[in-house]
Amino acid sequence: EVQLVESGGGLVQPGGSLRLSCAASGFGFSSYEMNWVRQAPGKGLEWVSYISSGGGTIYYADSVKGRFTISRDNAENSLHLQMNSLRAEDTAVYYCARRAKGERPFDLWGQGTLVIVSS
Amino acid sequence: DIQMTQSPSTLSASVGDRVTITCRASQSMSSWLAWYQQKPGKAPKLLIYKTSSLESGVPSRFSGSGSGTEFTLTISSLQPDDFATYYCQQYNSYSRNFGQGTKVDIK
pLDDT tens digits along B24-45:
999 999 999 999 999 999 999 9
Average pLDDT estimate for A52-71: 96
Would the pLDDT of B75 be above 90?
yes
Average pLDDT estimate for B45-55: 97
Q: Which residues of A touch B55 (CB under 8 A)?
A: 104, 107
Q: Which residues of A touch B36 (CB under 8 A)?
A: 45, 106
Average pLDDT estimate for B12-23: 97
Please tell me if residue B43 touches chain A, with a CB cutoff of 8 Å: yes
Q: Which residues pair with A24 in a beta bridge?
A: A4
Residue among A59, A105, A109 minimizing CB distance to B89: A105
Measured in angstroms, the CA of A16 and the nearest CA of chain B are apart by 26
Average pLDDT estimate for A75-85: 98
**Best mutation site among A4, A43, A45 for testing chain B: the one with the most B CBs within 10 Å?**
A45
Q: What is each CA distance from A67 to A18, A40, A44, A87, in whole angstroms?
A: 11, 18, 21, 10
Please tell me if residue A61 touches chain B, with a CB cutoff of 8 Å: yes
Q: Which residues of B touch A107 (CB under 8 A)?
A: 46, 55
Strand order in the sheet with B62-75: B4-7, B19-29, B62-75
**Best mutation site among A104, A107, A113, A114 for testing chain B: the one with the most B CBs within 10 Å?**
A104
CA B106, CA B3: separation in Å to the nearest integer? 29
pLDDT, tens digit, 9 for 90 and up, residues A26-39: 999 999 999 999 99
Nearest Cα residue to B32 out of B97, B76, B84: B97
CA A51, CA A57: separation in Å to the nearest integer? 6
Predicted pLDDT at B93: 80
Cis peptide before B8 (omega within 30 of 0): yes
